[in-house]
Amino acid sequence: MTEMSGADMVVQALVDLGVDTVFGYPGGAVLPIYDALFNHPQIKHILVRHEQAATHAAEGYARATGKPGVVLVTSGPGATNAVTGITDALLDSIPMVVLTGQVPTNLIGTDAFQECDTVGITRHCTKHNYLVMDPDRLGPVIHEAFFIATHGRPGPVVVDIPKNVQVATGSYTVPERIEHKSYRPQIEPDTGPIAKAIALIAAAERPVFYSGGGVINAGPDASAALRQLVALTGAPITSTLMGLGAFPSDDPKWLGMLGMHGTYEANMAMNRADLIIAVGARFDDRVTGRLDAFAPEAKKIHIDIDRSSINKIVPVDIAIVGDAGRALDALIAAWQDRGHQARDLGEWWRRIDGWRATRCLDFPEKTEASAEIMPQRAIKALFDATRGRDPIITTEVGQHQMWAAQHFGFSAPNRWLTSGGLGTMGYGFPAAVGAQIAKPDRLVICVAGEASLQMNIQEMGTVSQYRLPVKIFILNNEYMGMVRQWQELTYESRYSNSYSDSLPDFVKLADAYGWTGLRIDTLGELEDGIRTMIDTPGPVIVDCRVAKLANCFPMIPSGAAHTDMILQPSDVIGTMDDEAKALV
Amino acid sequence: MKIQTEAGERHVLAVTVDNESGILAKITGMFSARGYNIESLTVADISADHAVSRITIVTSGPPAVIDQIIAQLDRLVPVHSVTDLTDQGAHVEREIALVKVAGTGDKRIEALRMADVFRAKVVDTTLTSFIFEITGSSDKVDRFVALMRECGLVEVGRTGVVAIARGAEAV
């Protein structure tokens, strides 16, 4: 127990918890903590240009490392600007601790300058939150906040600290056992459902694994266990957007991503399977399509660390509550103990190969050097150029994100950082900043759309300040492409407000911030342009001009079943009924 | 296009929680955010050290929704336990209402007579009014209040349901 100021306790707690990086922005109500940071060079503070970017950078840091991201912002607008990133972390289960300054306790509730009800505003977009009114509570609360953010299903935790609590002195204590008095997430799976699950897996004729972000969150060992179980059973595997990288995309058992913009083979396999093994995935509406037509012939095993995910959307036959990695280990052990051998799934694989033969990710393109670049080609070229460099790819949200998910192959977890649940435009660039801070020697590329990028483009200053070699690869089609695509599909091509008018000259913008800027206009320039981007030290922005009206296919339209995929532009009807229009 | 809603069944949930600031907002906010119903909600501190509160929630929904409500409550960090008393079987439900009736003459006598039938106590009286205290199931309170509407009901206050399972076990 040591007597110190609240602000010193905050910083001491961060040091004790092994925090090396804080993303933040100072302001009146956190000045005492900033002053304490001044004397603690072992914590690197990354000064962003907007608090939303601090939260996304912390997410990028967390997704690239598996460690919690830490954010420090002031009261009022500092806290409200952080709300989008906090919600993003909640939806994607990303561990994050956000420290917010608050007006002094005697001014709370008086509409004081830069006051807002931070715990009220963040109550439903955090896993948990605290308002600390007593400096003696700071040590235990901050330690507990990190415990909650990282245990069970990870998520964001907000700790709101009034300014007088930062200035007052108290005793800093570290709880003897760092845990919560009642929060006890189930980590180890029960043995009963494991035994039932393994019997189903061993007997299935048309099994398919459906993995998600829970496998990534469970750490690299969980990805290794997933690969082992898939190899033992010989079953095909698909994954959600959040789960990409847990299973190598060059493995013959890999079907590609499933869902709205998933592959034909992945969605057809889900539809025709007799057994679905969901691992750390939550049957999101982007994945299931029309619910009454979802996997009608399949029994379902669902592994999830959050009991509320089970039976939330799709009723399942066997529920395994626990950490994805531990559950996979238990399944592997049960498989081996019982001496199961992989069944002959030849007939199932022949059907899958038939679906694969549609080559659903192919796209029409011209091949001469002067041709316009198809966005899919740009992603494939980026993938080819970065093979062997183990890049970290972040994305913004929209068509470019889906094309990257479809055409960029991942072979390891924590390399694919994208906003899945909340779908936050403006996520990708600050997430790349966070990933580059966490992994300074890695090639970090933000695949962006010209519209999304502008939502947090101010972070170019942050990149310049810390000399981060982040690369931004813009697929510039001068449209909010996914909005435009939906307008083409559902609103008879009435492109209401989806044109990216008055774009900046990105090359000149790069110059203004001391970056390198490149523009790629034609297919003939594509490979050289990408190579220049990679070979140029320091930050680079690439304005890659692509076909303006390209659509992202395959696509399951709103309210349609997995079997009703649009594979080609010629399948587009251009209108939808009201029921379908009402779906997101 | 018309928006469809599903009919449901009534469930009484007993929830123990950390007795801390904001917990009620967290619980009720979860219900409103996810579109669940609250028919009544009562809360009070129940432990000797004031650390734990018990919330009794009456909700309604199809079985799958009730399961979700329980799971969603259970995952909230300050929630210790969630028990579905309806699902668990025999339990006792009680509610208190204070019912103010104003009038003179026959209506006043009739109100008093019916209060006696319902075993409602008179807790205050003036020459022109009574306040009755009635304890019982929500149905009983509903029926009493409905009868009092005919006898000069002017105001009613109800606690909402508290409930506890029968037998020697604690939740």
The whole-angstrom distance between residue A452's C-alpha and the CA centroid of its chain comes to: 15
β-bridge pairing A471-476 and B52-61: unpaired
With CB atoms and an 8 Å threshold, state whether B22 touches A578.
no
Residue A499 has φ and ψ, to the nearest 5°, of: -85, 130
Which of A4, A115, A127, A163 is catalytic? The answer is A163
May I ask the CATH class of domain B92-163?
A: alpha beta
Contacts of A148 in chain B (CB under 8 A): 77
Could you tell me the mean pLDDT of each successive run of 10 residues in chain B, 171 residues long?
A: 77 96 94 94 95 96 95 96 93 97 94 96 97 96 96 96 93 76
Give catalytic status of residue A365 as yes or no. Answer: no
**Alpha carbon A520 to chain centroid, angstroms:** 28
| A71 closest CA partner among A167, A160, A183 | A160
Query: Is the distance from CB of A263 to CB of A256 less than 8 angstroms?
Result: yes
The verdict on whether A482 is a catalytic residue reads yes
DSSP state of A340: -
Query: Rounded CA gap, B159 and B171, in Å?
Result: 22
List strand residue ranges (DSSP E) for A38-155, in order.
44-47, 69-73, 96-102, 128-131
ipTM of the complex: 0.88
DSSP A248: -
In terms of CATH architecture, what is B3-89?
A: 2-Layer Sandwich (3.30)
pLDDT reported for residue A558? 79
DSSP label at residue A313: S
Within 8 A by CB and 6+ apart from A111, the residues are: none
Provide the pairing of β-strand B91-102 with B153-158: antiparallel
Give the largest Cα separation in chain A, rounded. Answer: 72
Cα-only R_g, chain A: 24
List the single best residue of B18, B28, B66, B75 to mutate versus A (max A Cβ within 10 A): B75
Suggest the residue from A87, A91, A183, A578 to mutate for an interface test with chain B (most B CBs closer than 10 A): A183
Q: For testing the chain A interface, which of B77, B79, B81 should be mutated: the one with the most A CBs within 10 Å?
A: B77
How far A201 CA lies from chain B's nearest CA (Å)? Answer: 26
Report pLDDT digits (tens) over A37-64: 999 999 999 999 999 999 999 999 999 9
* Interface of chain A toward chain B, CB-CB under 8 angstroms: 119-120, 123-124, 127-129, 131, 148, 153, 180-183, 306-308, 310-312, 315, 578-579, 582
Instruction: Looking at the complex, report in whole angstroms how far the Cα of residue B144 sits from the nearest Cα belonging to chain A.
Output: 39
Q: Name the residue facing B25 among A123, A311, A582 (closest C-beta).
A: A123
Question: Same CATH fold, B92-163 and B3-89?
Answer: yes
The answer to whether residues A535 and A389 touch, using CB atoms and an 8 Å cutoff, is no
Contacts of B78 in chain A (CB under 8 A): 128, 182
Tokens of B163: 């409930």
Closest chain A C-alpha to B157 CA, distance in angstroms: 29
pLDDT tens string A193-219:
999 999 999 999 999 999 999 999 999
Sheet holding A21-24, edge to edge: A44-47, A21-24, A69-73, A96-102, A156-162, A128-131
Query: Cα–Cα distance between A101 and A583 in angstroms, integer?
Result: 39
What is the Cα–Cα distance from A119 to A33, expressed in whole angstroms? 19
> How many helices (H) and strands (E) would you count in chain A?
23, 20
In the stretch 94-123 of chain B, residues with CB closer than 8 A to chain A read none
Q: What local confidence, expressed as pLDDT, does residue B169 receive?
A: 87
The whole-angstrom separation of Cα A500 and Cα A425 is 14
Domain ranges of chain B: 3-89, 92-163
- Catalytic residue from among A114, A186, A458, A465: A114
Beta-bridge partner residues of A70: A97
Closest of A540, A421, A403, A523 to residue A469, by C-alpha: A540
Residue A214 has a pLDDT of 98
- d(CA B43, nearest CA chain A) in Å: 19
Q: Which residues, including other chains, have CB under 8 Å from residue A362's CB and lie 6 or more apart?
A: none
**Inter-chain CB proximity A131 and B77 less than 8 Å:** no
pTM: 0.95
Q: Which residues of chain A have pLDDT under 70?
A: 1, 573-574, 584
Which residues 16-75 of B have a C-beta within 8 angstroms of A? 18, 21-22, 25-26, 29-30, 33, 64, 67-68, 71-72, 74-75
Per the CB < 8 Å rule, is B71 touching A131? Answer: no
Size of interface A-B (CB pairs under 8 A): 46
Where are the strands (E) in B39-138, listed by range? Answer: 40-45, 52-61, 79-84, 91-102, 121-126, 129-136
Instruction: Say which of B1, B64, B77 has its CB closest to residue A183.
Output: B77
Report the chain B residue with the minimal C-alpha distance to residue A307.
B71
The active-site residue out of A23, A51, A439, A450 is A51
